[in-house]
Amino acid sequence: MARTSFPISVDAAQIARAAELIRRGELVAFPTETVYGLGANALDANAVARIFEAKGRPSTSPLIVHVYGIECVGVVARSWPDRAAMLARRFWPGSLTLVLPKQAAIPPLVTAGLDTVGVRIPNHPIALALLREAGVPIAAPSANRFTQLSPTRAEHVRESFGDRVSLILDGGPANVGLESTVLSLAGPAPVLLRPGMVTRQQIEALIGPVSLAEDPLRGPHSSPGQHRKHYSPRTPLVFVENGELPGGRGAYLYWHTFLNASRVYRMPSDAESSAARLYDILHELDNQSWDWIAVELPPRGPGWEAIHDRLNRAAAR
Protein backbone atom coordinates (compact mmCIF):
# COMPACT_ATOMS: atom_id res chain seq x y z
CA MET A 1 0.00 0.00 0.00
CA ALA A 2 1.30 3.47 -0.87
CA ARG A 3 2.19 5.65 2.10
CA THR A 4 0.25 8.87 2.39
CA SER A 5 2.57 11.66 1.35
CA PHE A 6 2.19 15.34 2.09
CA PRO A 7 3.54 18.29 0.20
CA ILE A 8 6.58 20.10 1.65
CA SER A 9 7.81 18.96 5.03
CA VAL A 10 4.72 17.78 6.89
CA ASP A 11 4.86 14.14 7.94
CA ALA A 12 2.56 11.84 9.90
CA ALA A 13 4.33 12.67 13.18
CA GLN A 14 3.64 16.37 12.72
CA ILE A 15 -0.01 15.66 11.93
CA ALA A 16 -0.25 13.57 15.10
CA ARG A 17 1.31 16.38 17.13
CA ALA A 18 -0.99 18.99 15.58
CA ALA A 19 -4.05 16.82 16.28
CA GLU A 20 -2.95 16.40 19.90
CA LEU A 21 -2.56 20.18 20.28
CA ILE A 22 -6.06 20.72 18.84
CA ARG A 23 -7.53 18.19 21.29
CA ARG A 24 -5.74 19.96 24.16
CA GLY A 25 -7.39 23.27 23.24
CA GLU A 26 -4.40 24.93 21.53
CA LEU A 27 -4.21 26.79 18.21
CA VAL A 28 -2.74 25.19 15.09
CA ALA A 29 -2.35 26.98 11.75
CA PHE A 30 -2.84 24.68 8.78
CA PRO A 31 -2.98 24.93 5.01
CA THR A 32 -6.19 24.68 3.01
CA GLU A 33 -6.60 25.07 -0.74
CA THR A 34 -8.02 28.60 -0.25
CA VAL A 35 -5.91 30.26 2.46
CA TYR A 36 -4.21 29.12 5.69
CA GLY A 37 -6.57 28.69 8.63
CA LEU A 38 -6.02 29.34 12.35
CA GLY A 39 -7.67 26.29 13.86
CA ALA A 40 -9.11 25.29 17.22
CA ASN A 41 -11.42 22.54 18.44
CA ALA A 42 -14.87 23.81 17.39
CA LEU A 43 -16.52 22.05 20.35
CA ASP A 44 -14.31 23.80 22.93
CA ALA A 45 -15.38 27.39 23.70
CA ASN A 46 -12.12 28.18 25.53
CA ALA A 47 -10.03 27.05 22.57
CA VAL A 48 -12.18 29.08 20.19
CA ALA A 49 -11.81 32.15 22.43
CA ARG A 50 -8.05 31.97 21.80
CA ILE A 51 -8.65 32.38 18.06
CA PHE A 52 -10.49 35.68 18.61
CA GLU A 53 -7.80 36.84 21.02
CA ALA A 54 -4.90 35.96 18.69
CA LYS A 55 -6.54 37.57 15.66
CA GLY A 56 -7.82 40.66 17.46
CA ARG A 57 -11.15 39.75 15.88
CA PRO A 58 -14.46 41.08 17.25
CA SER A 59 -16.66 38.34 18.63
CA THR A 60 -19.46 39.50 16.30
CA SER A 61 -17.70 37.75 13.43
CA PRO A 62 -18.65 34.04 13.05
CA LEU A 63 -16.11 31.31 12.19
CA ILE A 64 -16.21 28.57 9.58
CA VAL A 65 -16.16 25.00 10.92
CA HIS A 66 -14.15 22.43 8.96
CA VAL A 67 -14.88 18.70 8.80
CA TYR A 68 -13.28 15.85 6.82
CA GLY A 69 -16.35 14.09 5.49
CA ILE A 70 -20.07 14.52 4.84
CA GLU A 71 -20.75 12.00 7.61
CA CYS A 72 -19.35 14.59 10.08
CA VAL A 73 -21.63 17.46 9.06
CA GLY A 74 -24.34 16.26 11.44
CA VAL A 75 -22.12 17.08 14.42
CA VAL A 76 -22.08 20.72 13.28
CA ALA A 77 -25.37 21.38 11.45
CA ARG A 78 -28.82 20.17 12.49
CA SER A 79 -30.36 20.06 9.03
CA TRP A 80 -29.13 18.92 5.64
CA PRO A 81 -31.41 20.22 2.89
CA ASP A 82 -31.43 18.63 -0.59
CA ARG A 83 -29.71 21.69 -1.99
CA ALA A 84 -26.83 21.19 0.45
CA ALA A 85 -26.49 17.55 -0.59
CA MET A 86 -26.38 18.51 -4.29
CA LEU A 87 -23.77 21.20 -3.73
CA ALA A 88 -21.65 19.02 -1.47
CA ARG A 89 -21.63 16.20 -4.02
CA ARG A 90 -20.33 18.56 -6.67
CA PHE A 91 -18.03 20.93 -4.74
CA TRP A 92 -16.74 19.11 -1.63
CA PRO A 93 -13.99 18.78 -0.72
CA GLY A 94 -13.60 22.34 -1.96
CA SER A 95 -13.89 26.05 -1.54
CA LEU A 96 -17.61 26.35 -0.80
CA THR A 97 -18.87 27.09 2.73
CA LEU A 98 -22.52 26.29 3.45
CA VAL A 99 -24.37 28.19 6.18
CA LEU A 100 -26.92 25.92 7.85
CA PRO A 101 -28.92 25.76 11.12
CA LYS A 102 -26.42 24.94 13.86
CA GLN A 103 -26.23 22.03 16.28
CA ALA A 104 -26.40 22.78 20.00
CA ALA A 105 -22.92 21.23 20.49
CA ILE A 106 -21.32 24.16 18.68
CA PRO A 107 -20.63 26.90 21.26
CA PRO A 108 -22.27 30.30 20.56
CA LEU A 109 -18.84 31.96 20.34
CA VAL A 110 -18.10 30.02 17.11
CA THR A 111 -21.15 31.47 15.36
CA ALA A 112 -21.19 34.91 17.00
CA GLY A 113 -24.41 33.94 18.74
CA LEU A 114 -26.22 33.12 15.49
CA ASP A 115 -28.43 30.06 15.17
CA THR A 116 -26.56 29.15 11.96
CA VAL A 117 -23.08 27.79 11.27
CA GLY A 118 -20.74 27.87 8.27
CA VAL A 119 -19.27 24.46 7.39
CA ARG A 120 -16.97 23.11 4.68
CA ILE A 121 -14.70 20.21 3.77
CA PRO A 122 -11.39 21.70 2.63
CA ASN A 123 -9.64 20.23 -0.40
CA HIS A 124 -6.16 19.82 1.01
CA PRO A 125 -4.49 16.58 2.10
CA ILE A 126 -2.86 18.13 5.20
CA ALA A 127 -6.11 19.75 6.38
CA LEU A 128 -8.01 16.51 5.83
CA ALA A 129 -5.38 14.43 7.63
CA LEU A 130 -5.43 16.86 10.57
CA LEU A 131 -9.24 16.79 10.81
CA ARG A 132 -9.31 13.01 10.69
CA GLU A 133 -6.59 12.60 13.28
CA ALA A 134 -8.01 15.28 15.63
CA GLY A 135 -11.41 13.59 15.57
CA VAL A 136 -13.21 16.90 16.22
CA PRO A 137 -14.51 19.61 13.87
CA ILE A 138 -12.05 22.49 13.60
CA ALA A 139 -13.19 26.13 13.66
CA ALA A 140 -10.78 28.19 11.59
CA PRO A 141 -10.82 31.71 10.24
CA SER A 142 -8.10 32.82 7.88
CA ALA A 143 -4.81 32.93 9.81
CA ASN A 144 -4.24 36.69 9.68
CA ARG A 145 -4.77 39.55 12.13
CA PHE A 146 -8.21 41.16 11.85
CA THR A 147 -8.65 43.27 8.63
CA GLN A 148 -5.25 42.22 7.25
CA LEU A 149 -4.47 40.17 4.16
CA SER A 150 -5.23 36.46 4.31
CA PRO A 151 -2.19 34.15 4.29
CA THR A 152 -1.48 31.95 1.29
CA ARG A 153 1.87 30.67 2.63
CA ALA A 154 3.11 29.46 6.02
CA GLU A 155 5.57 32.41 6.10
CA HIS A 156 2.61 34.84 6.01
CA VAL A 157 1.18 33.16 9.12
CA ARG A 158 4.55 33.31 10.86
CA GLU A 159 4.84 37.04 10.08
CA SER A 160 1.43 37.77 11.68
CA PHE A 161 1.53 35.49 14.70
CA GLY A 162 5.07 34.35 15.46
CA ASP A 163 4.85 32.08 18.50
CA ARG A 164 1.26 32.99 19.46
CA VAL A 165 0.34 29.85 17.51
CA SER A 166 1.49 26.50 18.91
CA LEU A 167 2.27 25.01 15.50
CA ILE A 168 2.15 26.02 11.84
CA LEU A 169 1.82 23.17 9.34
CA ASP A 170 3.57 24.20 6.12
CA GLY A 171 1.81 22.96 3.00
CA GLY A 172 3.44 25.38 0.58
CA PRO A 173 1.50 27.99 -1.38
CA ALA A 174 -2.32 27.70 -1.46
CA ASN A 175 -3.52 26.87 -4.93
CA VAL A 176 -6.94 28.57 -4.95
CA GLY A 177 -5.58 31.61 -3.11
CA LEU A 178 -8.85 33.38 -2.12
CA GLU A 179 -11.23 32.55 0.74
CA SER A 180 -14.13 30.17 0.10
CA THR A 181 -17.47 31.14 -1.37
CA VAL A 182 -20.00 31.49 1.49
CA LEU A 183 -23.58 30.47 0.66
CA SER A 184 -26.46 30.55 3.13
CA LEU A 185 -28.99 27.73 2.88
CA ALA A 186 -30.48 28.57 6.26
CA GLY A 187 -33.34 30.74 5.00
CA PRO A 188 -36.16 30.16 2.51
CA ALA A 189 -33.92 30.98 -0.50
CA PRO A 190 -30.15 30.60 -1.04
CA VAL A 191 -28.10 33.76 -0.46
CA LEU A 192 -24.51 34.35 -1.54
CA LEU A 193 -22.77 35.96 1.45
CA ARG A 194 -19.23 36.04 0.05
CA PRO A 195 -18.18 35.42 -3.56
CA GLY A 196 -15.32 32.98 -4.13
CA MET A 197 -13.82 30.82 -6.83
CA VAL A 198 -16.85 28.51 -6.76
CA THR A 199 -18.99 31.00 -8.69
CA ARG A 200 -22.62 32.02 -8.35
CA GLN A 201 -23.16 30.74 -11.91
CA GLN A 202 -21.80 27.28 -11.00
CA ILE A 203 -24.06 27.16 -7.94
CA GLU A 204 -27.13 28.34 -9.86
CA ALA A 205 -26.54 25.70 -12.52
CA LEU A 206 -27.14 23.10 -9.79
CA ILE A 207 -29.74 24.60 -7.45
CA GLY A 208 -31.38 27.50 -9.32
CA PRO A 209 -31.48 31.22 -8.43
CA VAL A 210 -29.21 32.56 -5.71
CA SER A 211 -29.65 36.09 -4.41
CA LEU A 212 -26.84 38.37 -3.35
CA ALA A 213 -26.38 39.49 0.26
CA GLU A 214 -26.06 43.09 -0.83
CA ASP A 215 -29.24 42.92 -2.93
CA PRO A 216 -30.86 46.28 -2.00
CA LEU A 217 -34.36 44.80 -2.39
CA ARG A 218 -33.62 42.33 0.37
CA GLY A 219 -32.19 44.97 2.69
CA PRO A 220 -29.01 44.57 4.71
CA HIS A 221 -28.42 40.86 4.89
CA SER A 222 -27.14 38.77 7.73
CA SER A 223 -23.53 38.51 6.66
CA PRO A 224 -21.82 39.34 9.92
CA GLY A 225 -18.09 39.62 9.57
CA GLN A 226 -18.33 40.99 6.06
CA HIS A 227 -16.80 44.28 7.14
CA ARG A 228 -16.19 46.71 4.35
CA LYS A 229 -12.54 47.19 5.26
CA HIS A 230 -11.09 43.70 5.25
CA TYR A 231 -8.37 41.81 3.44
CA SER A 232 -6.17 44.92 3.40
CA PRO A 233 -2.45 45.40 2.96
CA ARG A 234 -0.91 48.07 5.24
CA THR A 235 0.25 49.98 2.15
CA PRO A 236 -2.63 52.06 0.68
CA LEU A 237 -4.19 50.25 -2.26
CA VAL A 238 -5.75 52.39 -4.98
CA PHE A 239 -7.49 51.61 -8.25
CA VAL A 240 -6.05 53.26 -11.33
CA GLU A 241 -8.44 55.26 -13.44
CA ASN A 242 -7.58 56.99 -16.73
CA GLY A 243 -4.04 55.63 -16.70
CA GLU A 244 -2.95 57.95 -13.89
CA LEU A 245 -0.68 56.75 -11.11
CA PRO A 246 -0.50 58.58 -7.73
CA GLY A 247 2.57 60.72 -6.95
CA GLY A 248 5.54 59.11 -5.17
CA ARG A 249 7.01 55.64 -5.50
CA GLY A 250 4.76 52.65 -5.81
CA ALA A 251 3.97 49.30 -7.35
CA TYR A 252 1.42 48.72 -10.09
CA LEU A 253 -0.53 45.51 -10.82
CA TYR A 254 -2.22 45.24 -14.17
CA TRP A 255 -3.92 42.90 -16.60
CA HIS A 256 -3.98 44.93 -19.83
CA THR A 257 -2.52 48.41 -19.60
CA PHE A 258 1.15 48.86 -18.76
CA LEU A 259 2.06 52.02 -16.82
CA ASN A 260 5.49 53.14 -15.74
CA ALA A 261 5.57 52.68 -11.93
CA SER A 262 8.71 51.91 -9.87
CA ARG A 263 7.65 48.26 -9.81
CA VAL A 264 5.26 46.79 -12.36
CA TYR A 265 3.67 43.38 -12.18
CA ARG A 266 1.55 41.80 -14.88
CA MET A 267 -1.18 39.53 -13.53
CA PRO A 268 -2.07 36.24 -15.26
CA SER A 269 -4.84 36.58 -17.85
CA ASP A 270 -7.25 34.00 -16.37
CA ALA A 271 -9.25 34.39 -13.14
CA GLU A 272 -8.04 31.16 -11.44
CA SER A 273 -4.36 32.02 -11.88
CA SER A 274 -4.97 35.63 -10.88
CA ALA A 275 -6.74 34.49 -7.69
CA ALA A 276 -3.88 32.14 -6.88
CA ARG A 277 -1.33 34.99 -7.27
CA LEU A 278 -3.24 37.93 -5.78
CA TYR A 279 -2.60 37.71 -2.01
CA ASP A 280 0.88 36.37 -2.57
CA ILE A 281 1.94 39.36 -4.64
CA LEU A 282 0.15 41.79 -2.28
CA HIS A 283 2.01 40.30 0.72
CA GLU A 284 5.29 40.67 -1.15
CA LEU A 285 4.64 44.27 -2.20
CA ASP A 286 3.36 45.16 1.26
CA ASN A 287 6.79 44.29 2.68
CA GLN A 288 8.61 46.60 0.25
CA SER A 289 7.62 49.97 1.78
CA TRP A 290 6.02 51.48 -1.32
CA ASP A 291 3.97 54.68 -0.94
CA TRP A 292 1.09 52.89 -2.63
CA ILE A 293 0.02 49.79 -4.51
CA ALA A 294 -1.98 50.76 -7.61
CA VAL A 295 -4.22 48.19 -9.28
CA GLU A 296 -5.85 48.28 -12.69
CA LEU A 297 -9.55 47.30 -12.60
CA PRO A 298 -9.55 43.54 -13.22
CA PRO A 299 -11.43 41.96 -16.14
CA ARG A 300 -15.18 41.34 -15.62
CA GLY A 301 -17.00 38.02 -15.82
CA PRO A 302 -18.13 35.08 -13.68
CA GLY A 303 -14.73 33.92 -12.42
CA TRP A 304 -13.67 37.47 -11.57
CA GLU A 305 -16.30 38.44 -8.96
CA ALA A 306 -14.28 37.27 -5.97
CA ILE A 307 -11.21 39.18 -7.17
CA HIS A 308 -13.25 42.39 -7.52
CA ASP A 309 -14.79 41.82 -4.09
CA ARG A 310 -11.44 41.38 -2.29
CA LEU A 311 -9.75 44.26 -4.11
CA ASN A 312 -12.68 46.57 -3.32
CA ARG A 313 -12.35 45.69 0.35
CA ALA A 314 -8.56 46.04 0.25
CA ALA A 315 -8.97 49.54 -1.22
CA ALA A 316 -11.53 50.60 1.45
CA ARG A 317 -10.00 52.89 4.07
Taking a C-beta distance cutoff of 8 angstroms, is the pair 107, 87 a contact? Answer: no
CB-based burial label for 75 (10 Å; 0-12, 13-18, 19+): middle
Return the residue of 16, 45, 75, 114 that touches ligand TXA, per CB under 6 A.
Answer: 114
Provide the minimum distance between the beta carbon of 262 and ligand TXA in the complex, in angstroms, as a whole number: 32
Residue 212: phi and psi, rounded to 5, are -95, 145
Q: Which amino acid, one-letter code, is at 31? A: P
Residue 147's binding partner among Mg ion, ligand TXA, none (Cβ under 5 to 8 angstroms by kind) is none
Q: Which residues of 106-128 are buried (b: 16+ CB within 10 A; e: fewer)?
A: bbebbbbebebbbbbbbbbbbbb
Do the bridges between strand 28-30 and strand 167-168 make them parallel or antiparallel, or are there none, so unpaired?
A: parallel
Residues 6+ apart with CB under 8 A from 74: 80, 103
* Contact predicate 240/294, CB 8 Å: yes
- CA-to-CA distance for 263 and 248, rounded, in angstroms? 12
Partner touching 202 among ligand TXA, Mg ion, none, CB below 5 to 8 Å by kind: none
* Shortest distance, position 37 Cβ to Mg ion, whole Å: 9
Please say which residue, 111 or 254, places its beta carbon nearer to ligand TXA: 111
Nearest distance from residue 259's CB to ligand TXA, in Å?
Answer: 32
Q: Considering the rule CB under 6 A, would residue 305 count as an interface residue with ligand TXA?
A: no
Residue 62 makes contact with ligand TXA by CB under 6 A: yes
Cβ burial of 242 (10 Å; 0-12, 13-18, 19+) is exposed
Applying CB under 6 A, among 63, 109, 191, 295 the residue interacting with ligand TXA is: 63
Of ligand TXA, Mg ion, none, which one sits near residue 226, judging by CB under 5 to 8 A according to partner kind?
ligand TXA
In the range 212-251, which residues lie near ligand TXA by CB under 6 A? 223-226
Complex with ligand TXA: residue 6 or 252, whichever CB lies closer: 6
C-beta of 215: minimal distance to ligand TXA in Å? 15
User: Contact with ligand TXA (CB under 6 A): which of 10, 29, 35, 307?
Assistant: 35
Ranges within 135-164 binding ligand TXA (CB under 6 A): 140-142
User: Is 193 among the residues that bind ligand TXA (CB under 6 A)?
Assistant: yes
Count of Cβ atoms closer than 10 Å to residue 214 Cβ: 14
Q: Which is nearer to Mg ion, 119 or 261 (CB)?
A: 119
3-class SS of residue 276 = helix
Q: Which residues of this chain interact with ligand TXA, rule CB under 6 A?
A: 32, 34-35, 37, 61-64, 95, 97, 99, 111, 114, 116-118, 122, 140-142, 179-180, 182, 193-194, 223-226
